[in-house]
Structure 1
C-alpha cells in the first residue's frame, strides 16, 4: 500500500466517484465500510481523512485501487499546478497556493484535465516534452527526487560495508573484488583521455581516471555497484516512467544509479542525524561523509522519507552564461528553477569570482500568484578537469531553502533573514516582469512594449503586462 497509510490523505472526490459508480447511497456504502453515514459524508466533503483501515476495506469491498488516491501525483501535486499557473497568461489572476490546494483536493479530475490541456497546448511544456532532459526532470520531480526502495537498499549495504571496513573507499573496493571479482585501478589521464570511469570486463577491472579526487573516486565506484547490484530495481523504476524516448530512459536510469551511489555514501539514517546535530553544516557534512559539495547538494534534495523528513532544499547547477545543467526542486515547491536561464542578480554568478568560498544570499522572487517568496541560497563553484591540456570547466552549484526555515542552518548564523534585506531577483529576463531592474537585457516574453520618445528611462524597455 506504500504511502496509503498516511493519515492526512483527503480523498473525498475519489470516494464519492466510487460510491456513484457502484450506485450506492451514503448509508449503504457506510454500512459496507463499517462507519456511520455522517462520517462518510465528512470524508466525501474532505473534512475527514481516510484511515489505513478504510483504505484496506475499500480495496476489499469495491476492488478499489489505492493508487488512485494519488492521482494528484500525475499533475505534480500542488507544486506542479503552481508551475503551470505561473505562466504569464494567468499573471493577472493572482491564484495563491491555498486556492490551488483546495482545487486539487475538491476536484482532482478537473485539475488533471487542466494539466493535460496546458501540457498539450503550452508552448514551453510542449517544447520540453520532446527534450529528454526535461522529460527526466519532470519524472524526478514527480517522485520529489526520493526513491524509497533505493534508499533502503543503499542503507542496508552501507551498514554491511561499515562493519567490514570503516574506510568507505576501501570497503567499496573490497565489495567489488569479493562479490564481482573486479579490481579498482587508477589510470593516467593520457591512458583514459575521454572517460572518468570504464568497466573492462576482459581485464576484470573498474578503471578510474587519475583526474578524479578521492570523493569522486568513491562515488564512481558506488555508481558501478549500483549498476551491478540494483540493475533490476533501477530498470523497474525507469520502466515505470513509460518514456517513449530511449534517451530519456537512459538518462533517468543514470540518475537512479547516481541516487543509489549518493545514498550509499550518505546513508539516510546516519546522514539525517548528522544534519540535525550540526544544523546542516555543509563543511562538516562534507568532511564527515567524505563527499564533495555537489554530491552533498544532491543528497540534501532527497530527504523525504516518511516520518523522517529533512528540510526541503532545492539544488541547481549553472554555468557562467546562466544556463542550467541540473535542476532539482525536491519538495521545496520553488518556481525559481522554471526558466531557461538564471537571473544575473543572483549571487550564484558571483561564486565564479570567489572560487572555494560559499556565497550566501537572501533572495526574493515572485511565486505563482505574483506574491513575494523568500529563499536563502548558498552557492559554491565546482570544477571538472579534463585530460592534459584540456583545461578545467567550472560550474556554480546552488542550494536553496525557504527563508522561514533557514534559521535552522549553521550557514545562516549571524545572517539577517529580515525581508528588507532580501535581494529581488527573477526567473531570467524573458520571464521576469519586474519593471525597474537595471540589469534587464530583454523585455519579458508576451509583454506589450511602450515607447515615449520624450523620455529615456533607466532601463532600455518599458512594457505593460
Structure 2
C-alpha cells in the first residue's frame, strides 16, 4: 500500500526561518540541493523519508508537529466550517480548502479557532453542546484507548453469552459490592438510574426496556472503572466551558458502555457478516436502535475499519438533538434544521418502521453519489410513553451497495430524492415544499405569473 505523500512546505519554511538560515544553508544541512528545498517549501515536492530523518537529526524536529491540522479536523473539518451559510455566496470548493490548508496551515488554524469561538450561524457563541460536538468530531468519534479497554473487560466478563444483563449485574456485585434493584416509577420520579451507596444499590426504573436497563448498568460500570481514562481524554480537550467538558465526559461514558456491550471485533464481524442488517444486530447484541446507531459511527480502528456512518436524532420540529458524523464526510447534517422531504420526518407517523431513502443533498460535495439513509422512531429515555424522537443513519451510496437495507432500493442518481439543509440554507430552485426564502439570494418577483413556491429567487 502506497503511503500518502506528505507536503509540509510552510512548516519547513517556518523551521528554517526560526533557525535564521538561508535556503542554501538549510539545504546543505539537509544534504539536498537548494532548488529541491525551494520546491519542498513551495509544496511542489513532498517531504521524503530521508529528508524527514535529516530534519529530525539536524534540527531536533518533531514530525508530530506536521499533524497539527488534525486539531481542526483536516480538510474535512475546514470544509464543514466553510459550509456555514455566512460563506454560501463565496462558492468555496474542496480544492480551494486543500490549497489553503497546505499553503497556510497556521492561518487555517487561526480561522478555525475564530470560527469555533464565534460558533456557526444561528448558534450562540461558546455554546457548550457545540463545543462538545466539535471535540467528538475532532476524534471522528473513535477513541481507541477506550475501545480497547472496554473490549478487554468484555472478554474478561465473557459478555458474548446470551444474557448480558446477568453478566453486568454479577460484575457490579463481585467487583463493587453493588446489587441491582428495579423500583416502581413513583419511587424514582424523573429518574432512570440512581446509585445509592448507603444501601449499596443501583436502582433502576421499572419503565426502562431491557436494552436500556443493560445500558444503564454498563454506564455505571464505565463510571466506576473507567473514570481515570475518561477524565484523561476529556482533560486533553482543553475546554473553556465546564459544561462542555461535562457533556464530552458524558459522551465518553456512553461510548465505553456501548463498547462494553458491543465489543469492537465481534461487533464489526457481525456487521460485515449480516450486511449491517440493523434489526438483526439489535437482537444479536440486545441493544436499542439508538444504541446501535451510536456504535455504528465509531468503527474506525486502524487496520479494522467499518463503514463510515453518520447519525442524527431529531424531534418533530426538525431540531437535531444529536449529530455525529464520525468518519463520514456528510455535511448536510451540520445544519440547525432539516428538509421536510427527507423521510426521517415521515418516520414519526410510522412508529417502529424503518424508513430507507436514497437522497442527494443540496451541496456539491454531498450531492455527488448521494446518500442512503435509514430512519426510525425511538423513545427518548428508553421508557415507553416518553418523548419520541427519530434516529437516522446515513452512508455514502457508493459504499452502500452490499448493505442489507439497500436491497430493492435504486441507487441511481436520477432516482434520488433531492433534499436541502432546511429552507433558509437551501438554494434548490422550484421546490414546492419551500417555507422560507434562501439566505444570501435576492428574491425575484413576477406580476405576470405565480410559481409553485412563494419565494422565487435569482440564480447565482
For the criterion TM > 0.5, the same-fold answer is: yes
CA offsets per residue over residues 110-160 of structure 1, 9 Å max, x none?
3223334544567617x4432111111111111111111111111111111
In the alignment, does 2:290 pair up with 1:288? no
Tell me the equivalent position of 2:121.
Answer: 124
Of stretches 17-26 and 228-237 in structure 1, the one that deviates more from structure 2 is 17-26
Q: 2:343–2:355: 8 Å Cα contact kept in structure 1? A: yes
Instruction: Pick closer, same or farther for the CA change 1:137–1:24 going to 2, 3 Å.
Output: same
Distance 2:121 2:251 in 1: 24
1:96 corresponds to which of 85, 93, 96? 93
Unaligned runs of 5+ in 2: none
In the alignment, does 2:202 pair up with 1:206? yes
In the alignment, does 2:66 pair up with 1:69? yes
Tell me the equivalent position of 2:345.
Answer: 349
Q: 1:33–1:58: 8 Å Cα contact kept in structure 2? A: yes
Shift of 1:49: 5.6
Distance 1:263 1:24 in 2: 51
| Pairing of 1:262-341 with structure 2 (within 5 A) | 262-341=258-337
In the alignment, does 2:272 pair up with 1:250? no
Distance 2:254 2:102 in 1: 34
CA offsets per residue over residues 47-102 of structure 1, 9 Å max, x none?
44665x97677556534344422221232221221122223454354333233224
Q: CA RMSD in A?
A: 2.8
Tell me the equivalent position of 1:3.
Answer: none
Tell me the equivalent position of 2:105.
Answer: 108
2:421 corresponds to which of 421, 427, 434? 427
Number of aligned residues: 456
Tell me the equivalent position of 1:158.
Answer: 154
In the alignment, does 2:455 pair up with 1:461? yes
CA offsets per residue over residues 261-316 of structure 1, 9 Å max, x none?
11111111111111122211112211221111111110111111112111111000
2:217 corresponds to which of 216, 221, 226? 221
Shift of 1:392: 2.8
CA offsets per residue over residues 174-215 of structure 1, 9 Å max, x none?
111111111111111121121111111111111111111111
Q: 2:314–2:391: 8 Å Cα contact kept in structure 1? A: yes
Tell me the equivalent position of 1:16.
Answer: 13
Of stretches 357-366 and 160-169 in structure 1, the one that deviates more from structure 2 is 160-169
Shift of 1:163: 7.3
Q: 2:183–2:203: 8 Å Cα contact kept in structure 1? A: yes
Distance 2:60 2:330 in 1: 38
Q: 1:211–1:385: 8 Å Cα contact kept in structure 2? A: no
Shift of 1:371: 5.7
Unaligned runs of 5+ in 1: 1-5
Tell me the equivalent position of 1:416.
Answer: 410
Distance 2:229 2:198 in 1: 26
Instruction: Pick closer, same or farther for the CA change 1:178–1:447 going to 2, 3 Å.
Output: same
Q: 2:330–2:366: 8 Å Cα contact kept in structure 1? A: no
Instruction: Pick closer, same or farther for the CA change 1:229–1:370 going to 2, 3 Å.
Output: closer
Distance 1:209 1:59 in 2: 58
Q: Please state whether the residue corresponding to 1:407 is helix, strand or coil.
A: coil
Tell me the equivalent position of 1:142.
Answer: 138
Q: Please state whether the residue corresponding to 1:297 is helix, strand or coil.
A: helix
Of stretches 215-224 and 102-111 in structure 1, the one that deviates more from structure 2 is 102-111
Q: 1:265–1:289: 8 Å Cα contact kept in structure 2? A: yes
Instruction: Pick closer, same or farther for the CA change 1:371–1:346 going to 2, 3 Å.
Output: closer
Shift of 1:36: 8.4
In the alignment, does 2:434 pair up with 1:437? no
Q: 2:353–2:376: 8 Å Cα contact kept in structure 1? A: yes
Q: Please state whether the residue corresponding to 2:421 is helix, strand or coil.
A: coil
Distance 2:185 2:423 in 1: 41
Distance 1:79 1:193 in 2: 44
Instruction: Pick closer, same or farther for the CA change 1:129–1:13 going to 2, 3 Å.
Output: same
Q: 1:82–1:368: 8 Å Cα contact kept in structure 2? A: no
Q: State TM-score, norm by structure 1.
A: 0.89
Instruction: Pick closer, same or farther for the CA change 1:7–1:185 going to 2, 3 Å.
Output: farther
| Pairing of 1:359-378 with structure 2 (within 5 A) | 359-367=355-363, 372=368, 374-378=370-374
Instruction: Pick closer, same or farther for the CA change 1:269–1:41 going to 2, 3 Å.
Output: farther
Distance 1:268 1:108 in 2: 34
